[in-house]
Amino acid sequence: MVLKHFLPNQHVKSIFEITPDTLAERGVKGIITDLDNTLVEWDRPNATPKLIKWFEDMKNSNIKVTIVSNNNENRVKAFSEPLNIPFIYQARKPMGRAFRRALTEMGLQQDETVVIGDQLLTDVLGGNRSGFHTVLVVPVAQTDGFITRFNRKVERRILNFFRKKGMIQWED
Ligand SMILES: [Mg+2]
């Protein structure tokens, strides 16, 4: 079934449910994360204090993080640089190339890295096809940029399908 490529291994209500402890339990040493509506609202330019703390906690636990975003250089760079977090912009997810580049730069293997994001069609599909453990987060904001709005329509249908089949339990 092709749809299984859209099924995340795990889903959480927010990025803050992902802690160094829960990752360490599974031997995870790295995170590839989406930016818009995963870390902050798509239209918020900078990280929140709580998010800055989240990045610090990861760093203190030797968990590497790379931001991999389909958004443009200006957006991704302006957000990531003040945090000192490596980033890849115009990543073209669900294509696998940016994920491979992030792995190489972190010096990690697929099975010790998780892919986190808020979209089935880019983050989850891309992560699954490249062999990562994938984590879907509930989007930080209810609104989206123009392209994402179209993807959401498709996504809602897929999520409804999974729900009906009992493949995910989603309380929202
Ligand atoms: Mg996103």
Alpha carbon of 161 to ligand 1 centroid (Å): 21
Alpha carbon of 27 to ligand 1 centroid (Å): 25
Alpha carbon of 154 to ligand 1 centroid (Å): 15
pLDDT at 1 over 60: no
145 burial via Cβ count (<10 Å: 0-12, 13-18, 19+): middle
Alpha carbon of 52 to ligand 1 centroid (Å): 18
Per-residue confidence at 170, pLDDT binned at 50, 70, 90? low
Alpha carbon of 6 to ligand 1 centroid (Å): 15
For 32-71, how does the pLDDT look when each residue is reduced to its tens digit (9 = 90+)?
999 999 999 998 999 999 999 999 999 999 999 999 999 9
Q: Strand 10-12's sheet: what is its strand order?
A: 10-12, 133-137, 113-117, 30-33, 64-68, 87-88
The residue ranking higher by pLDDT, 127 or 151, is 127
HEC per residue, the chain = CHHHHHCCCEEECCHHHCCHHHHHHCCCCEEEECCECCCECCCCCCCCHHHHHHHHHHHHCCCEEEEECCCCHHHHHHHHHHHCCCEECCCCCCCCHHHHHHHHHHCCCHHHEEEEECCHHHHHHHHHHCCCEEEEECCCCCCCCHHHHHHHHHHHHHHHHHHHCCCCCCCC
pLDDT at 166 over 90: no
pLDDT at 172 over 70: no
Alpha carbon of 1 to ligand 1 centroid (Å): 25
For 135-163, how does the pLDDT look when each residue is reduced to its tens digit (9 = 90+)?
999 999 888 777 788 888 888 889 888 88
The pLDDT assigned to 70 comes to 97
The pLDDT assigned to 75 comes to 97
